[in-house]
Structure 1
Amino acid sequence: MRASLRHKVIEVCRKKIATKGENVNVSFYAFFANKNDDPILLMEAATWWIQTHQLDHFVKAKDVIALVESEAA
């Protein structure tokens, strides 16, 4: 996953946790506007989420952060 997407995923997850609490769930669609203005980036996120990690549609935001941060190390 490219660094800019990693940063965006972590930022969105942290905002969701701040507003909705520790147990909030997200899907990879949370990282994009309702308008499909960057299909390549959307497919990169979908591939990472679905194929690489076989995540369910909704996953705890804190778990997504931990997964992204562990890959960046």
Structure 2
Amino acid sequence: MRASLRAKIIETCNKKIAAKGDNVGLSFYAFFANKNDDPELLMEAATWWIQIHQLDHFEKAIKIKKMVEAM
């Protein structure tokens, strides 16, 4: 996973956790705007989320943050 996507995931998780607490869930769509302006990056996130790690549609932000930081 490219560094810019890792940074975006961590930033988004931090914002969600700060706003809603440690139990907040999110999907990989949370890292993107409501328009498909970078399909390649979206597919990279989807591949990491769905194919590589076989995560559920919604996961705890804290779990995703820890996974990405461990990379």
Structure 1: distance between partners of 2:50 and 2:56: 8
- Mark the runs of 5 or more structure 1 residues left unpaired by the alignment: none
TM norm structure 1: 0.96
TM norm structure 2: 0.99
- Residue in structure 2 matched with residue 36 of structure 1 by the alignment: 36
Q: Deviations over 1:15-69 (max 9, x none)?
A: 0000011100010000000000000000000000000100000000000000001
Identity %: 73
Counterpart residue identity of residue 22, structure 2: E
Aligned length: 71
Correspondence list, 1:1-73, <5 A = 1-71=1-71
Q: What is the root-mean-square deviation in Å for CA atoms of aligned residues?
A: 0.4
Structure 2: distance between partners of 1:47 and 1:57: 13
